[in-house]
Structure 1
Amino acid sequence: MIKGLYEAHLPVSNLENSVEFYKKLGLKLASKKGKVAFFWIVKGESWLGLWENDTVQLKYHPSIRHLAFKIDEEDFEHAKEWLNSIGIEIRTEFGLTAEHQPLVLSNHPHAHAALYFSDPDGNSLELITPLRLDDVEDFNEMSLEEWRKR
């Protein structure tokens, strides 16, 4: 029955600034009307709604202000440099320094490579890809470089 996630929504304080930010990420504007814009993540499969409003300053919690965009594992080779080249700063997470990014998340028994960054309103964004599913021993988060040397 369920085939995937079709849409997600984020609050933004300035729709025009946010539209430009998400265009830099390569998302295609699907529609814009009033204080709402939709971007295709994958046309016909998933999209992102941005809603300009006064409640953007909600305290951050991943359950309400976080999106993870799936990318291919081989794209992690240049994802950090790509984000930096379009003026997007990578956030450090899980106690790992910027040099240790991208990182590998220990979601026992799974492992995922990830990079975290924020949009202009502080919404948490992530690039993520599964590395192994259902067959990974428990481990602490580490850099993708360290993971590949294991």
Structure 2
Amino acid sequence: MTSGSAMPAINGLLETALYVDDLERSVRFYQQIFGFRTFEEGSSESPAKEPDPRFCPLQIPGRQVLLLFRKGEFTTTSVLPGGTIPPHDGRGTLHLAFAVNADDLERWREWLSSHGVQVEGETTWPRGGVSLYFRDPDGHLLELATPGLWPIY
């Protein structure tokens, strides 16, 4: 970077990826627990199209995307009509946190329980936020966090 030039802006985090063993099972989990829709289901912004059996993008509120990739499917360069995507894959359990309203925390506890999802941990943070922790079908640690977790939230 040359002296005096300003760093270009970042507008936010657009995509987050998880690598899963059973794509259909994971898509069902995220749809049932969180109500996330696939882009293939169609919307005014994105007409329905044939799904790719190797991955599924899920719409998260706030103009964000959760990409569920079948493990081992993207270990070589993907060639698309518009260019290429370098290889990527992941192993092990990862962690994601979803922002929720503090007033909804008890409803989330009940919702998770009614869907057979066990809360593994709960933390009250020094700023007053509360986090509930549980796992998806692949063992990824998911968190529901209320405001007060971070200075920016």
TM-score (norm 2): 0.67
Amino acid corresponding to residue 116 of structure 1 in structure 2? Y
| Pairwise CA distance, 1:131 | 2.7
**1:64-79 to 2 correspondences below 5 Å:** 65-79=94-108
2:116 aligned with 1:116? no
String of CA shifts for 1:37-92, please: whole Å, max 9, x gaps: 0101116x101000001466x343xxxx1111111111113211111112211112
Which has the larger strand fraction?
A: 1
Fraction of identical pairs, as percent: 34
Do 1:73 and 1:131's aligned partners in 2 also have CA atoms closer than 8 Å? no
Do 2:100 and 2:147's aligned partners in 1 also have CA atoms closer than 8 Å? no
Alignment root-mean-square deviation, CA: 2.1
Q: How many Å separate the matches in 1 of 2:92 and 2:64?
A: 26
| Pairwise CA distance, 1:132 | 7.0
**Residue matched to 1:29:** 38
Instruction: Identify which of 77, 84, 87 aligns with 2:116.
Output: 87
Q: How many Å separate the matches in 1 of 2:54 and 2:92?
A: 21
**Residue matched to 1:39:** 58
In structure 2, runs of 5+ residues without a counterpart are: 1-8, 41-50, 73-88
Number of equivalences: 116
**Residue matched to 1:51:** 69
Q: How many Å separate the matches in 1 of 2:146 and 2:11?
A: 18
| Pairwise CA distance, 1:133 | 6.0
Which one has the largest radius of gyration? 2
**Residue matched to 1:129:** 146
